[in-house]
């Protein structure tokens, strides 16, 4: 029935060899669990090896993202019940002082500047109606930034653009639904970053939270 002969016992590893292999495999498994798996998945690093290998950092980022995903989900549920996406933003929201850009060849309506320490994050969003268009240009100094240009609320969501390790960006977005549209910024670099965003177009206010 099988496409192979019965194995000869002399071709097989002896029980003593198998036992030794099993012990080695068991020790190896525990070593991998403690120095590799726990740091990389749960940021638990009793030996400090995971930190040296860069795996504890991975675990920390995963834990942080998992917590944010959960918070996002709860927020979504809440907003789904409220049917008003601006309530929470209004709580955190603060008006950003407008500094008119110099009237060079490009006239910007607002300029937003803020600084992120390593590991810190912030949101800058424009309150827009469906069909509104906003032009933007931004640059960083001091390091490279990760961002997610998006909007969500009331069961709708859109991801315009994501980036990591970037130092500048420009373009425009057209809002497919009413709400706050803009960036989630995070500094994964090792130094503080200052981000400057210039904006113009159809929006009623700028909401900043961190």
Asked if 184 and 147 touch (Cβ cutoff 8 Å), the reply is yes
Taking CA atoms, 75 is separated from 5, 38, 83, 89, 113, in Å, by 62, 29, 12, 11, 27
* Binding flag, residue 135, another protein (CB under 8 A): no
* Binding flag, residue 146, another protein (CB under 8 A): yes
Place of tokens 């503080």: 192
* Candidate segments 61-69, 81-89, 93-101, 124-132, binder of another protein by CB under 8 A: 61-69
* Binding flag, residue 91, another protein (CB under 8 A): no
Q: Which of 88, 132, 184, 192 binds another protein (CB under 8 A)?
A: 184
Over the window 2 to 41, marking each residue x when it contacts another protein by CB under 8 A and - when it does not, the resulting string is xxx-xxxx-xxx-x-xx--xx--x------x---x---x-
d(CA 190, CA 193): 9
Cβ neighbours of residue 190 closer than 8 Å, sequence gap 6 or more: 118, 143
Residues binding another protein (CB under 8 A): 1-4, 6-9, 11-13, 15, 17-18, 21-22, 25, 32, 36, 40, 53-55, 57-58, 61-62, 65-66, 68-69, 72-73, 76, 144, 146, 148, 150, 152, 157, 159, 162, 164-165, 184, 186, 188
């Amino acid at each position: 029935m099988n496409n192979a002969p019965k194995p000869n016992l002399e071709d097989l590893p002896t029980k003593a060899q198998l036992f030794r292999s099993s012990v080695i495999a068991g020790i190896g498994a525990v070593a991998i669990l403690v120095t590799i798996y726990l740091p990389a998945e749960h940021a638990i690093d009793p030996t400090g090896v995971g930190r040296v290998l860069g795996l504890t950092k991975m675990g920390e980022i995963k834990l942080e993202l998992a917590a944010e995903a959960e918070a996002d989900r709860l927020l979504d549920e809440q907003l789904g019940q409220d049917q008003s996406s601006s309530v929470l933003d209004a709580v955190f929201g603060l008006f950003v002082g407008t500094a008119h850009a110099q009237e060079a060849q490009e006239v910007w309506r607002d300029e937003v500047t803020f600084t992120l320490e390593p590991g810190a994050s912030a949101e800058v969003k424009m309150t827009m109606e469906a069909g509104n268009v906003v032009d933007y240009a931004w640059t960083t100094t001091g390091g490279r930034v990760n961002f997610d240009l998006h909007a969500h609320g009331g069961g709708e969501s859109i991801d315009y653009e994501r980036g990591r390790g970037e130092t500048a960006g420009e373009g425009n977005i057209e809002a497919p639904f009413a709400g706050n549209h803009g960036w989630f910024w995070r500094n994964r670099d090792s130094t503080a970053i200052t981000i400057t965003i210039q904006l113009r177009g159809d929006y009623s206010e700028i909401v900043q939270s961190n």
